[in-house]
Structure 1
Amino acid sequence: MKGKVKKFLAASALALLCALRCAAASAADGDVPLAAAYEDESGSRVALPEGAFVRSGALWAPLDALRLMGAPAALGENKKSAVIKVENPADAFDIPALAQLAGGALSLDFPLIRVGEAYFFNMTGMQNLVKLDYRIESGSVIFTPNASAKAYLRGEAAKPEPKDGKLTLVWEHVAAENPDLGAQAPIPGLDVISPTWFNLKDAGGGMANRASFAYVEAAHRRGYLVWALVSNSFNAQMSSSFFRNARAMNLFIARLLIYAKLYGLDGVNLDFEGLDEVDRANFVGFVSRLSEFLRTEGLTFSVDVFIPANTKSSRSHDRAALAKYADYIMLMAYDEHWRTCKVAGSVASLPWVARAVEGALAEGVPAEKLVLGVPFYMRRWEETRGPGGVSVKGYTLTMAGAEEILARRGLTMQWLPSAGQNYFAYSADGKVQKIWVEDAASIAKKLELVQKHGLAGMAAWRKGHEKPQVWDVISEMMGK
């Protein structure tokens, strides 16, 4: 290995200078650039021609340099992820079921950051998997060989103990890179954080991955459990083909079990939306099978469902049947008026939410498993009057965004008892703007339904759209 590295590199002094320059060039605001070197078993060290950097608590190292040092990582075909093929995954991850599900080998996807023409791999927590350890000292990262027979590490941060009171969860929308959770203020009363990390990427059971071991460690230090969200990419056709392919479902489950072990997850939140109605029973069958494997691994299993309604989306979810296999059913009681609705209205008025809860219970979802999903967002509805009547456009608005409009325009809100929320309207550029407000007061009214019906708790979409004081209300009402 040392010989291969030396062949690739120029003189050590020149390589070290290049490493320092590359690290500085790769770092974005807030990153910590690092020079990089490889140290073999004898202690002999050689500088690498590319630097690394720390971002959001994780070490990102150049993929080419890792491969040079023997890491079994390759650039994926789409150049958006790294691919690692794991031999004998059942033994490597201490999960016997993988022998049945995946056989003797399985390929896994991992997130990358592209800087210029270079690709950087998240090394934190992946040392056993890529067979390289590292240490950071004096502005440099030193890589050394790792001969572990296991492909995963155990987290340093202790997993949080369950809190008293009702369950509280918030979803974290992760489109690409993860936020620095460790640098954020603690959220009072929060039990679980659910980052949108995994999704079905093809009908063959492939799984895209945006996860971060550093994020999980930061969550655990904050006292939060982590239930990673897994979606079907909201693709009906792909999902139908997937449900009809036993091998694909096995590989998908295998990958999910591996990622859960690799990143130290506490649970899984399944979010399969946009399904064809004909796949209603197929989805239940998949959930039934998946639940067996998750239970064996000690993972909490929650499933997101639409509210009872006469819509294709709602009819694709057999809520009562899904509740037989999931630990929790997450009722997505929002988007009463969707962004493309032709009529302005509330995202989640109180009567509409109440009917959704009562409908789910009437269908047979046990109250002790039902979690009420509430919105941390609202919509600004823009009405334009023209020759053909009034046209409407909806724009997503955060709680802070609504406050900013009120302050800038000197407006006051009106409480609507029937809707259980505040409301305000104004004119701008000849167009009427209407906003049904979600805030601490509206969230409190919805959470009364959790208490009234003895539900398991609440979940909110999504983190970052709320004002901090909302969590004070949630914490008090959920008994934290």
Structure 2
Amino acid sequence: MKKICCLFVILFVITTMGIAGAAEKKIIIKTPDKIIQTEDNANLIDGKIKIPLNLVKDYLYQNMAIDNPNKQVLINFSMPKIKFNNDKTNNLIFNGFKIMYPLEKINNNDYLNIDRLGLLLGISIEENEDNIIITTNRNSYYNPVKLNYSATNDLAKIVMVWQPILTESAATEKLPALNILSPSWFSIVSADGMIANKADYQYSVMAKENKYKLWPLITNSFDPDLTHKFLNDKNARKNIIKQLVVYAGLYEVDGINFDFENIYESDRELLNQFMLEATKALHDINVKVSIDVTAPMDDSQWSKCYDRKTLGKIVDYVMLMAYDEHWRTSPVSGSVASLPWVENGVVNTLKDVPNEKLVLGLPFYMREWQEQTVAGKIKVKAKTVAMHEIDTIIKDKKLKPLWLEDKGQDYVQYQQDGAIYKIWIENEKSLDKKINLVEKYNLAGVAAWRKGFEKPEVWQLLEEKLNSKVPEETTTCIKKPKKKNKKSTML
């Protein structure tokens, strides 16, 4: 990036005034034999240091390429500059690994958040009043930095929430009962097992400050053909596992949650094999492993693909997705999670999975169903309604909920513009009934889909029902350097 002219600086300041803590500083590169005053600027937003991709490639590391479809940069580390305290893990990454790292567009230029990536690049960063100073060769293949991982996962009852939205809000809120956050950070996106990475170390730091455990979610992109390819490729499976181990160390995670859905039934045994390989590698660094499954039913790609008995022996926890009884495109209206349907799913899953490993999935949402008669046939459409939205609908439509004892839910319906609208409500009353199943069957806890859909009262309900305790131990992966007079951070 060429030297920024005064007019550009003014325009930049104007465009960033709305961003808390936004600033720019010149970048200086210090190598063993020279100091380079670059013409590039680092972008500082909320304590995150972001530097131009071109500068990284020109001065720090060249073996990287942009993956445009995923808006990531693919980085090949043929000679790793990190190591773990575990010999098995070090042997796993000894011959190198590839990772994907998120790119960010700032003023039409590609930037990288250098936080944590600096560990892999073997650099350190110092910040003074005017400059960002990057020192190279801080660590090397022959003098690697250690990821001293010591995850702790001692919990009473699990209370986990999935968070697909990439914000830090859940990590910054201290909520009753909640003890595990599962942000949607990782997705397998290629047949050779590359993982699109949307992780945020700042999220991890804030989660730890609030005594939350961090179990990021990884998906198979819900693509059966892609899943078939990487499960059938031993090298692809190993590639996935290498990346997960590295990410676990970089972002200081306590667990990994595998959300693999829409899988060919013929790949069932290979899924077992992959989970066995992944679990062994993650256990070597004390990282818990969980997998999400549906209730047993007669559906090849959404249920029969899971060998629950074998998976229950391999992983630490099995999350039962006890919702979507009537999915969004269902041809008939109905509840997302009626109590008898949920309990039946629990009972049938317990035939294969030990109760101490089974976690009950809860919905923080419902669906509003629209039924219209067209040419003598009822056409059904649905939209998702968050728990916190239902009271407004009830008030605006002047509705009176009817308790359905056989469903364990309130129910409302109304007519509008020639259509009938039906809602089987998820609220504190319906969740209370479902949470009772945890005690009845002595389950490991609950996991809710999803953060942001709930009503605030839900957390107090969970606290009262499960009395979840959060351990005092913290997770420490990186040995932090002693503070110097200069503001200095080793990445």
Task: Report the TM-score, using the length of structure 2 for normalisation.
Answer: 0.86
Structure 1, 121-130 or 207-216: larger mean CA deviation? 121-130
Matched-pair contact (CA < 8 Å) for 1:153–1:262? no
- The superposition leaves residues 46-65 of structure 1 with CA deviations (integer Å, 9 ceiling, x where unpaired) of 4644441315x633332223
2:102 alignment partner, one of 96, 100, 111: 111
Separation of aligned partners in 1, 2:13 and 2:378: 54
User: Which residue of 1 is the match for residue 428 of structure 2?
Assistant: 440
Matched-pair contact (CA < 8 Å) for 1:82–1:111? yes
Separation of aligned partners in 2, 1:128 and 1:90: 8
Q: 1:146 to 1:417 in 2, by over 3 A?
A: farther
1:62 alignment partner, one of 52, 62, 68: 52
Separation of aligned partners in 2, 1:95 and 1:83: 26
Separation of aligned partners in 2, 1:43 and 1:88: 24
- Residue 85 (structure 1) aligned with residue 73 (structure 2): no
SS of aligned partner of 2:350: helix
1:394 alignment partner, one of 366, 382, 400: 382
Separation of aligned partners in 2, 1:160 and 1:221: 14
- Residue 323 (structure 1) aligned with residue 315 (structure 2): no
1:34 alignment partner, one of 17, 23, 40: 23
Partner amino acid for 1:386? V
- The superposition leaves residues 273-323 of structure 1 with CA deviations (integer Å, 9 ceiling, x where unpaired) of 100011111111111121111111110010111101111111100111100
Identity in percent: 32
- Residue 252 (structure 1) aligned with residue 243 (structure 2): no
- Residue 273 (structure 1) aligned with residue 261 (structure 2): yes
- Residue 373 (structure 1) aligned with residue 361 (structure 2): yes
Separation of aligned partners in 2, 1:86 and 1:28: 37
Q: 1:182 to 1:58 in 2, by over 3 A?
A: farther
Separation of aligned partners in 2, 1:219 and 1:196: 15
Q: How many residues align?
A: 462
- Residue 334 (structure 1) aligned with residue 337 (structure 2): no
- The superposition leaves residues 145-198 of structure 1 with CA deviations (integer Å, 9 ceiling, x where unpaired) of 461237768699x977744x3111001104xxx312378431211111011111
1:222 alignment partner, one of 198, 210, 214: 210
1:299 alignment partner, one of 280, 283, 287: 287
- Residue 288 (structure 1) aligned with residue 276 (structure 2): yes
Partner amino acid for 2:306? H
Separation of aligned partners in 1, 2:329 and 2:17: 36
Matched-pair contact (CA < 8 Å) for 2:171–2:181? no
Partner amino acid for 2:180? V
Report how far residue 71 of structure 1 moved. 4.1
User: Which residue of 2 is the match for residue 203 of structure 1?
Assistant: 191
Structure 1, 98-107 or 30-39: larger mean CA deviation? 98-107
1:467 alignment partner, one of 438, 452, 455: 455
Q: 1:131 to 1:452 in 2, by over 3 A?
A: same
Partner amino acid for 1:198? F
Q: 1:35 to 1:123 in 2, by over 3 A?
A: same
Matched-pair contact (CA < 8 Å) for 1:90–1:99? no
Structure 1, 101-110 or 441-450: larger mean CA deviation? 101-110
User: Which residue of 1 is the match for residue 222 of structure 2?
Assistant: 234
Separation of aligned partners in 2, 1:190 and 1:380: 28
- Residue 167 (structure 1) aligned with residue 158 (structure 2): yes
Report how far residue 239 of structure 1 moved. 1.1
User: Which residue of 1 is the match for residue 115 of structure 2?
Assistant: 124
Separation of aligned partners in 1, 2:233 and 2:215: 26
Separation of aligned partners in 1, 2:416 and 2:22: 47
Report how far residue 261 of structure 1 moved. 0.9
Separation of aligned partners in 2, 1:418 and 1:29: 52
Q: 1:197 to 1:390 in 2, by over 3 A?
A: same
Separation of aligned partners in 2, 1:420 and 1:159: 39
1:133 alignment partner, one of 124, 130, 133: 124
Matched-pair contact (CA < 8 Å) for 1:155–1:217? no
SS of aligned partner of 1:281: helix
Matched-pair contact (CA < 8 Å) for 1:168–1:458? yes
Task: Report the TM-score, using the length of structure 1 for normalisation.
Answer: 0.88
Report how far residue 119 of structure 1 moved. 1.4
Higher relative contact order (CA 8 A, sep 6+): 2
Structure 2 unpaired stretches of 5+: 469-491
- Residue 455 (structure 1) aligned with residue 446 (structure 2): no
Q: 1:171 to 1:288 in 2, by over 3 A?
A: same
Separation of aligned partners in 2, 1:183 and 1:238: 32
User: Which residue of 2 is the match for residue 193 of structure 1?
Assistant: 181
- The superposition leaves residues 321-349 of structure 1 with CA deviations (integer Å, 9 ceiling, x where unpaired) of 10000000100000000000011110000
SS of aligned partner of 2:269: helix
Q: 1:102 to 1:159 in 2, by over 3 A?
A: closer
Separation of aligned partners in 2, 1:88 and 1:94: 18
- The superposition leaves residues 99-140 of structure 1 with CA deviations (integer Å, 9 ceiling, x where unpaired) of 654552222100112234211212222222234433455586
- The superposition leaves residues 228-268 of structure 1 with CA deviations (integer Å, 9 ceiling, x where unpaired) of 11111111111112121111111111111111111111111
Separation of aligned partners in 2, 1:237 and 1:161: 34
2:13 alignment partner, one of 18, 24, 32: 24
Q: 1:426 to 1:89 in 2, by over 3 A?
A: same
SS of aligned partner of 1:89: coil
Separation of aligned partners in 2, 1:139 and 1:385: 68
Structure 1, 143-152 or 437-446: larger mean CA deviation? 143-152
SS of aligned partner of 2:413: strand
Q: 1:152 to 1:309 in 2, by over 3 A?
A: farther
Partner amino acid for 1:189? A
- Residue 52 (structure 1) aligned with residue 58 (structure 2): no
Matched-pair contact (CA < 8 Å) for 1:19–1:51? no
Structure 1, 302-311 or 410-419: larger mean CA deviation? 410-419
Separation of aligned partners in 1, 2:201 and 2:7: 29
User: Which residue of 2 is the match for residue 4 of structure 1?
Assistant: none
Separation of aligned partners in 1, 2:23 and 2:147: 25
